[in-house]
């Protein structure tokens, strides 16, 4: 790269980047700064950027949409700088850690959820991943994880958000190695460790330093037992300089599976607020976490939900689909959605380990009129819930 043109919506990060490039003997124009309506400035920017290497400086979650616009214009070699997850201010950001060259002939995957340990130390009744039906420590395999991410890279230039979760990921003694591998393969990602955080204070300072060094943040799920010790957990993380997000208080869980499928999957999908929860395990990429892990419910209670149906799960080592086609497949209702209720049924949060869990913790008993009201309410609330969830999950990176 001899000449660079910066297109971004963060003044401080864009100017800092231009100055760093100059120091590395790359001629960079004054950044072309844009705002919420970034498409309006695109034509003017492209005229000025001819024959230069384009760098996008946007929020991490915006990079999929913006890079796709450049793909449609036939621009495939470029770089990205996700400022909200990778820029910590002038003094503490390292150029090589925040600037990633991408192959923009491929798309980006918006999000993936990967279990580092299937079992959990909390065992919530009605766990979305059915982790309370798995016994305790059941760690993922690091080699398989690394190969799967490398394989995923053949389809996508990057991943917006990687959520390393469980069950409880801290029950995997090698969890730091998973963080390192994920960061190495997908340097652009908003990398998160999703935890109930009850074991967090048992981590050593050195382990927290690695989490910080690899620019991973922690998503603290605020279940009642977690909330009781939230202050000491966040004090511990603050002292170590580790970034974190705390979820809204979780006092209520929801059951949402139907005993028999609806005629069409579309209504449940239209009402669903968990439509971007793609899962990855052993070479399989699934559209939805609930569908992906419903085999646990089948095994525990002798049921027959179509877990990992080939129509909605992509075998990354044998598929003929490309990344664009996978994104299209995952962007619409899939057959398993017909097993979901368009209206969820709430219940108070409590624990239910495997020996006390029941199928009814997930499956709604038939009451069509009650469900109709719940479905209408859910449809009405969905836009607010999605916006609230997105806002609450926005990166809150602290200065290192
Ligand atoms: S904390 Fe609860 S909801 Fe989260 S993975 Fe564990 S059992 Fe499931
Ligand atoms: S299967 Fe479909 S409706 Fe059910 S949780 Fe997943 S995306 Fe939502």
- Round to whole Å and give the CA distance between 291 and 268: 13
Q: Candidates 337, 345, 371: which one to mutate for ligand 2, based on the most atoms within 8 Å of Cβ?
A: 337
Token pair recorded at residue 30: 């004054």
**Contact between residue 288 and residue 265 where contact means Cβ atoms under 8 Å apart:** no
Q: How far is the CA of 127 from the centre of ligand 1 (A)?
A: 5
Token pair recorded at residue 161: 């958000």
Residue 270, classified by CB atoms within 10 Å of its CB into exposed (0-12), middle (13-18) or buried (19+), is middle
Q: How far is the CA of 337 from the centre of ligand 2 (A)?
A: 5
Residues with CB under 6 A from ligand 2: 268-269, 272, 274-275, 288, 290-291, 336-337, 340
Average pLDDT score over residue span 269-282: 89
Q: How far is the CA of 266 from the centre of ligand 2 (A)?
A: 10
For the chain, the helix, strand and coil percentages under 3-state DSSP, each to the nearest 5: 40, 20, 40
Average pLDDT score over residue span 91-96: 80
Q: State whether residue 25 is helix, strand or coil.
A: coil
Residue 25 predicted with pLDDT over 90: no
Indicate if ligand 1 lies below 6 Å from the C-beta of 132.
yes
- Tell me the per-residue pLDDT of 100-146, one tens digit each, with 9 for 90 and over: 999 999 999 999 999 999 999 999 999 999 999 998 788 999 999 99
**Relative to the CA of 336, which ligand 2 atom is closest?**
1
Share of the chain above pLDDT 70, in %: 98
- Tell me the per-residue pLDDT of 148-159, one tens digit each, with 9 for 90 and over: 999 999 999 999
Distances (CA, A) of 81 to 52, 84, 87, 111, 250: 16, 9, 8, 18, 33
**Contact between residue 54 and residue 31 where contact means Cβ atoms under 8 Å apart:** no
pLDDT at 202: 97
**Relative to the CA of 129, which ligand 1 atom is closest?**
8
Q: Please state which of the ranges 188-192, 223-227, 276-280, 283-287 shows the lowest mean pLDDT.
A: 276-280
- Round to whole Å and give the CA distance between 297 and 354: 11
- Round to whole Å and give the CA distance between 206 and 218: 16
Of 257, 268, 285, 203, the C-alpha closest to 365 is 257
- Round to whole Å and give the CA distance between 293 and 286: 10
Indicate if ligand 1 lies below 6 Å from the C-beta of 63.
no
Give the closest residue (by CA) to ligand 1 atom 4: 167
- What pLDDT band is residue 389 in, cutting at 50, 70 and 90? confident
Phi, psi at 277, each rounded to 5°: -100, 65
Closest listed ligand to the CA of 194: 1
**Relative to the CA of 275, which ligand 2 atom is closest?**
7
Token pair recorded at residue 396: 């809150």
Q: How far is the CA of 279 from the centre of ligand 1 (A)?
A: 16
Q: How far is the CA of 165 from the centre of ligand 1 (A)?
A: 9
pLDDT at 274: 80
Strand boundaries in 89-151, DSSP class E: 100-103, 108-117
Q: How far is the CA of 123 from the centre of ligand 1 (A)?
A: 6
- What pLDDT band is residue 385 in, cutting at 50, 70 and 90? confident
More confident residue, 14 or 90: 14
More confident residue, 177 or 342: 177
* Residue bearing tokens 């799967």: 148
pTM of the model: 0.94
Residue 378 predicted with pLDDT over 60: yes
Sequence-distant (≥ 6) Cβ neighbours of residue 84 within 8 angstroms: 10, 59, 60, 394, 395, 397
Q: How far is the CA of 291 from the centre of ligand 2 (A)?
A: 7
Q: Candidates 253, 261, 265, 274: which one to mutate for ligand 2, based on the most atoms within 8 Å of Cβ?
A: 274
Indicate if ligand 1 lies below 6 Å from the C-beta of 167.
yes
Average pLDDT, rounded, for the chain: 92
**Relative to the CA of 167, which ligand 1 atom is closest?**
5
Indicate if ligand 1 lies below 6 Å from the C-beta of 131.
yes
Sequence-distant (≥ 6) Cβ neighbours of residue 348 within 8 angstroms: 251, 252, 253
Of 253, 256, 241, the C-alpha closest to 288 is 256
Distances (CA, A) of 6 to 31, 38, 134, 197: 5, 13, 49, 39
- What pLDDT band is residue 398 in, cutting at 50, 70 and 90? low
Residue 293: CA count within 13 A, CB half-sphere = 24
Indicate if ligand 1 lies below 6 Å from the C-beta of 187.
no
**Contact between residue 52 and residue 29 where contact means Cβ atoms under 8 Å apart:** yes
Residue 362, classified by CB atoms within 10 Å of its CB into exposed (0-12), middle (13-18) or buried (19+), is buried
Distances (CA, A) of 195 to 182, 221, 336: 17, 6, 27
Average pLDDT score over residue span 249-255: 94
Residue 4 predicted with pLDDT over 70: yes
Q: Candidates 166, 289, 361: which one to mutate for ligand 1, based on the most atoms within 8 Å of Cβ?
A: 166
Q: Would you give the DSSP letter of residue 89?
A: -
- Round to whole Å and give the CA distance between 128 and 290: 6
């Amino acid at each position: 790269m001899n000449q660079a043109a910066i297109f971004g919506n963060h003044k401080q990060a864009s100017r800092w980047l231009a100055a760093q490039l100059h120091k590395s003997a790359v001629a960079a124009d004054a950044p072309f700064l844009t705002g919420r309506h970034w498409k309006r400035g695109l034509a003017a920017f492209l005229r000025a950027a001819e024959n230069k290497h384009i760098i996008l400086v946007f929020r991490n979650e915006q990079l999929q949409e913006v890079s796709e616009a450049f793909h449609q214009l036939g621009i495939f070699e470029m770089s990205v700088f996700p400022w909200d997850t990778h820029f910590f201010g002038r003094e503490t950001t390292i150029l090589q850690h925040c600037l990633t060259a991408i192959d923009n002939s491929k798309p980006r995957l918006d999000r993936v959820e990967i279990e580092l340990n299937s079992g959990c130390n909390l065992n919530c009744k009605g766990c979305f991943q059915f982790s309370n039906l798995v016994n305790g420590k059941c760690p993922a395999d690091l080699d398989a994880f690394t190969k799967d991410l490398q394989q995923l890279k053949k389809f996508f230039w990057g991943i917006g958000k990687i959520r390393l979760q469980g069950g409880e990921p801290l029950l995997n003694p090698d969890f730091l190695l998973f963080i390192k591998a994920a960061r190495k393969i997908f340097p652009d990602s908003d990398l998160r460790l999703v935890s109930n955080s009850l074991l967090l204070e048992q981590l050593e300072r050195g382990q927290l330093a690695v989490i910080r060094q690899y620019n991973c943040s922690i998503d603290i799920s605020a279940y009642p037992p977690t909330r009781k010790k939230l202050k000491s957990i966040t004090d511990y993380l603050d002292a170590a300089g580790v970034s974190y997000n705390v979820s809204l208080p979780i006092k209520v869980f929801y059951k949402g599976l139907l005993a028999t499928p609806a005629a069409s999957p579309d209504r449940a999908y239209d009402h669903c607020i968990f439509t971007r929860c793609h899962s990855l395990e052993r070479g399989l990429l699934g559209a939805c976490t609930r569908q992906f892990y419903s085999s646990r419910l089948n095994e525990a209670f002798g049921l027959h939900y179509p877990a990992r149906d080939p129509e909605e799960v992509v075998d990354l080592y044998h598929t003929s689909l490309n990344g664009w086609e996978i994104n299209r497949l995952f962007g619409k209702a899939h057959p398993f959605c017909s097993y979901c209720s368009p209206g969820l049924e709430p219940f108070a949060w409590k624990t239910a380990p495997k020996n006390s869990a029941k199928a009814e913790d997930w499956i709604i008993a038939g009451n069509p009129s009650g469900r109709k009201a719940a479905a209408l309410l859910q449809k009405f609330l969905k836009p607010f819930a999605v916006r609230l969830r997105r806002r609450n999950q926005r990166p809150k990176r602290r200065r290192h």
